[in-house]
Amino acid sequence: MLKNIYLRFRCKVQSAFGRYLVSDVAALQSLSAIGAGYLPWSGASLTPTAASKVANEIIVNRRRNVLELGSGVSTLLFGKLLHDLGGRLVSVDHDAEWLNRVKEIARNRGIDTSIDFVHAPLRCHPKAMNSQQWYDQEAILQALNGKVDVLIVDGPIGGHRYIMSRYPALPVLRQILADDATVFLDDIDRPEEQKIAALWAREFGLEFDLDKGTLGLLNGNIAIGSFSSRTYTP
């Protein structure tokens, strides 16, 4: 009976919130301890379960230099976490208006001093596939100070209309990643992101967590890849 109740609840949650999982309820409770205030979660945000995986990595492995592609809820959450830990977040987005809105919220919450907001318009890029555009590479590289130990790839927009749009992230940024860096690739339930993860694994020796042959699906829709065995994966 309890199993049936759980399954019905899970169906309702997934129907109402798309990719969100029942595990997100517990993750939200844990994330609230960071004290980032109200977070406007949406279907485009990292799932709470995925966000908790990133938070675990930052805390347990003492990560202090984080780069995220795609700003939003994650910026406020990890910005607050790194603010308290003495770290730094570089948050990149192609949409200047949206980036300024996130920056305003961060400033109102007193955490903007630990976040570098980078407007990087989408442009034609030699590493892009299928005529897709990627971020202004120089805008990102100029904003970095030291090696990045966590890379979160949640942009640019992906999916079937933007085939392989996130692929350039590693070809462009591998040079600035620490030797033991951890890479998070969001939306791993989509075939295109699975192809990207497979290419990265083959081209850069990146080891992704596997579960029943599917990349990261039980990690809250995010794939976790590492260049060393140091990465914490509960």
SS3 assignment, position 223: strand
pLDDT tens digits along 132-169: 899 999 999 999 999 999 999 999 987 656 779 999 99
Helix axes 96-108, 73-85, angle to 10 degrees: 40
- Give the model confidence (pLDDT) of 64-82 as tens digits: 999 999 999 999 999 999 9
Nearest to 187 by CA among 87, 50, 66, 8: 50
Note the pLDDT of residue 93.
97
User: Of 107, 66, 108, nearest to 85 (Cα)?
Assistant: 66
Hunting for tokens 């977040």 — which residue is that?
89
The answer to whether the CB of 148 falls within 8 A of the CB of 182 is: no
Residue 123: which of 137, 138, 134 has the closest Cα? 134
What domains can be seen in the chain, in order of their start residue? 2-226 (3.40.50.150)
